[in-house]
Each structure stands twice: as structure tokens, then as C-alpha cells.
Amino acid sequence: MVNWKEEVDKKFDRLVDIRRYMHKNPELSYHEEKTHDFILSELKKLDKLEIKAPVGERGIVAKLKGNEPGQTIAFRADFDALPIQDEKDVPYKSTVDGVMHACGHDGHTATLLTFCEILHEHQHLLKGNVVFIFQYAEELSPGGASPMVDDGALEGVDKVYGNHFWSGHETSSIKTRPNEMMASPDYFEVTIQGKGGHGAKPHTSIDSIVIVAEYISSIQKIISRNLDPIDRGVITVGKVDAGTAFNVISDTATLAGTVRTFKPEVKDTIEAELERVLKGICLANNATYDFEYRRGYPTVVNHEEQYEVVKEAAERLDLTYEDIPPMMIGEDFSYYLLNRPGCFFLTGSGNEDKGSTAPHHHPMFDLDEEAMKTTTQMFIQVLEIEGVL
């Protein structure tokens, strides 16, 4: 009988090497040429794999067939980085100015590649098939998941699992929840057209900045007064741009923000109300407007049966496990779960002694690399519970 913990422990240096190579060589969403080639070259060293690339624009799907019939279980990792300057003082600091892996995708890919290598060495034990999905462009909508699904990434797959390292949780703790886990993130942008003029003569102008201020204040009531209090929703204005001088009334002002929801009907209400309020305020102020609303990834909805598999896997490994509240962040793993039963879970990677507790998308973000071993062991346990190992 294989001691899987020992097998994973033996691969720890490999996990770290892959992760640190990727951390030093990050590439932005939709520009992951070298990353794609690196992953593909590593997979081609494993002669029992069936490899398809590209899937979508730049994705890779590898399949390892077992010697006995059974289920086909897929696992997914993303490999794009973010437009953030790496400020850590570590040997594996990003070598690309203004780009870094600030969300753990380097660790996701290192984990899935190493998991693939371990299973390849024990392929004779598989009672079914395992599919390894390496996805580009998770960070930037419309994302890589949807085109990869459209291009057959889930062909023949029965169930799909995914993991995200999480610096806000203690290393190697496991967190997930049944049903809605992560929100659907949307984008909206507003341009208000007024009439410019001298700061000393506001009566001759239509002040776009005053109108924008009124709009920002008014839309906060959409959540508190237009939604059922039981439903969840967030409206955040993250960007405002107006004016060129302290004594000039700006003729235009723009703002951009995000909407986070779990239910499609709540999303519909917020979108309609954002424009209705805008139309009324501009009419009252004799201004005009442009309104753009772009819908992002769907809600991440875990399936009950696969949620129970993840929970049992954590319990078998004697890991700290917790059901977490729904999160207002977004993730395009949702597209896989729309098409197949599955579960997405978090593996804690936060360790103050190792400096890995900075939040995601932060210049000081780092991983406690021990977490990669935990996720690899979790994936193995998932296969055992599903009857594939």
C-alpha cells in the first residue's frame, strides 16, 4: 500500500522549485506565453499523459488514464499573475518589473504539476481517469475558464475540484462551504456630461463633480432600500476622475465600481437601479450621462455531494476544517461548476513566522509553501474517496 504522505513529502523540493520559478517569472492575464510553454514542456516529460494544447486561447488539459474503468475526476489550477510590483526581499522575488504572483497562482500550478507527476508514477493504481486543467487568465474578465469549457476542457469529466491558497487562514487549514461560496463580480462605469466653467461662476455651469457626488451618495441606498434584507449585495465605487484645476468647474466626471451578488435577480435589480438613479439625478441637474454595466463571472456554487468529499478528505488528514461564510470575491472556477458537479475549497497558507500573511493582491504577498503539500494530499484523498485511487 502506498504511503501517500511520504510520496508527497519526497516531492516537496519539486513543489518549491516549480513555484519559485513561476514566482520569479510572472506573466499577466492573456500574456502567459512563457508560462504556457513551461507547463507544457513539463507535462511532455510524462509519457503516459494525453495532452491537449491550446485549449481556449492558452489553456492546457492533460489526461491520465487508469488501467481499470471508473470515474473521470478533474482538477484545475490557474497560472496568470497581476500588475503589482513585488516588494518582498526574497531570493525568488519577481524579475519582471510591475508584475508578480500576488494571489498564489504560482502555487496552484506547482501543486497540480507535482500532483500529476505523483499520479503518473502510480498510474497502475488508477481505477478511472484524472484530468489536469491548467488555466490562463483567471484574474481578468472574461477569463480563461469559459472558453476552455467551450473548447472541451470538461469533455468526459464526471466531477471537478479546485483549490485556492488563502493567506488569511492558518497554513494547512481547509475551508469551504456548500452551495454559494463566492459572489458574482460585475463592473460598472458612469460618465456624467455637464457644462464647464469658472469656479467663481457656478450659476453659468453644470457641475459634473457635484452630480457625481450626489450619485455616489444616492446609490448606497440601493442595497439598504431596494433589496430584501435577507439577500446579499455590495456596491463599491473604486474610482472617480474629474477636473484639471482647483478653480475650474469640470464639464465631465467619470466613476467606476463593482457590484457583488449571489442571485441573478439581485444582480438584475441593482443594475436597473444604478441606471434609474443616474437618469433621475442627471435629469434633475440638466446633465446627460453614459452608463456601462459589464457582468462578470457567475457565482461559485459548490455541489453538496462534492463538498462532503472535500470535508471528509480534510478529516481523514486530520486537518483543521471549517465551513466559512459566503465570500464577496469572484472566481471563474464557477464556469466549471456550472457544467459539472464539483467543489472549490481554500487551503490556508498564512504563517506569521514565514511572512505569508499579507492579503491577496498585495505587494508583500507570499505563500507558506508547506500548504502546497497539504493541497496535494487533499487531491489524493479526493481521488480515494471518489474511488479512483
By annotation, the residues acting in catalysis are: 80, 138
Please, which residues have CB within 8 angstroms of residue 56's CB and are 6 or more apart in sequence? Answer: 136, 144, 147, 148, 150, 151, 153
For 8, 34, 213, 311, 380, the CA distances from 3, given in Å and listed in that order, are 9, 35, 62, 21, 11
DSSP string, 318-379: T--EEE---BS---TTHHHHHHS-EEEEEEEEE-GGGT--SPTTSTT----THHHHHHHHHH
**What stretches of 122-197 show up as alpha helix (H) in DSSP?**
145-150
Q: Are 181 and 327 in contact (CB under 8 A)?
A: yes
Buried b (16+ CB within 10 A) or exposed e, 329-344: ebbbbbbbbebbbbbb
- Can you give the length of the chain in residues? 389
Strand duo 300-302 + 159-170: pairing: unpaired
The grid coordinates of residue 365 equal: 504577498
Degrees to nearest 5, angle at CA 200 with 197 and 203: 65
Q: How far apart are CA 319 and CA 321, in angstroms?
A: 6
- Report the half-sphere exposure of 124 (CA within 13 A, side-chain side): 3
Residue 240 burial (C-beta neighbours within 10 Å; 0-12, 13-18, 19+): middle
Q: How many CB atoms within 10 Å of residue 90?
A: 12
Q: Are 345 and 315 in contact (CB under 8 A)?
A: no
Strand duo 127-135 + 68-78: pairing: parallel
Q: Are 223 and 235 in contact (CB under 8 A)?
A: yes
Question: Which long-range CB contacts under 8 A does 40-48 form with residues at least 24 apart?
Answer: 42/18, 42/113, 43/113, 43/116, 43/132, 46/116, 46/117, 46/120, 48/120, 48/123
